């Protein structure tokens, strides 16, 4: 099975200049925990990801004003990605290796075209693989290699 079969297509995204307060509103409206950041609305080149954790750790905990802080100020980058042609099993390996709850899907130009979340894996992957992914992602930091926060 390929990622294109399980990914959420055309995910909502923001520009680097988008205020974090607006990014947080997008998360509420879309019921999601991460918003991809793209170069511009014309070039959907992926440049980062803002997660609810990024907002909590890099904005709120540091006392920064969310109405003045931008996505660029707190986004995670570089971004680990997969393509629509990636096998779901390989996508699971990426999630596990980097302890990610979601991974953006990019096309051949590096433009965002989808996203695969842990919930997609739980819905479409075999139970054994889903359990593996959840167990690996949920390990406390320091027990496995953690490279990204999204």
Q: What is the pTM of this model?
A: 0.82
The residue assigned the tokens 């707190």 is 74
Which residue is associated with the tokens 């842990």?
A: 118
pLDDT in tens, 93-102: 999 889 898 9
Within 6-101, strands assigned E span 8-9, 34-38, 46-51, 82-83
pLDDT band at 140 (very low <50, low <70, confident <90, very high): low
Q: Which domains does the chain have, with CATH numbers?
A: 3-137 (3.10.580.10)
Sign of the C-alpha dihedral computed for residues 130, 131, 137 and 143 taken in this order: negative
Average pLDDT over residues 89-117: 92
For residue 148, pLDDT beyond 70: no
Q: Is the pLDDT of residue 147 over 50?
A: no
Q: Where are the beta strands (DSSP E) in the chain?
A: 8-9, 34-38, 46-51, 82-83, 102-106, 112-117
Query: Mean pLDDT across the chain, nearest whole number?
Result: 88
pLDDT in tens, 22-41: 999 999 999 999 999 999 87
User: Has residue 143 got a pLDDT over 90?
Assistant: no
Q: Look at residue 133 and tell me whether its pLDDT is greater than 80.
A: no
Q: How confident is the model at residue 135 (pLDDT cuts 50, 70, 90)?
A: low
In angstroms, rounded to a whole number, what is the distance separating the alpha carbons of residues 17 and 37?
9
Identify the pLDDT of residue 145.
44
């Amino acid at each position: 099975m390929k990622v294109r079969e399980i990914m959420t297509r055309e995910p909502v995204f923001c520009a680097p200049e988008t205020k974090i307060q607006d990014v947080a509103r997008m998360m509420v409206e879309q019921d999601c925990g991460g918003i991809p950041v793209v170069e511009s609305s014309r070039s959907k080149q992926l440049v980062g990801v803002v997660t609810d954790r990024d907002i909590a750790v890099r904005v709120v905990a540091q006392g920064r004003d969310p109405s003045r802080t931008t996505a660029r100020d707190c986004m995670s980058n570089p971004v680990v990605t997969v393509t629509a042609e990636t096998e779901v099993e390989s996508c699971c390996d990426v999630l596990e290796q980097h302890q990610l709850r979601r991974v953006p899907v990019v096309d051949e130009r590096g433009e965002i075209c989808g996203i695969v979340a842990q919930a997609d894996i739980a819905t479409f992957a075999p139970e054994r693989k889903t359990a593996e992914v959840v167990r690996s992602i949920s390990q406390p930091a320091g027990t496995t290699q953690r490279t990204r926060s999204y």
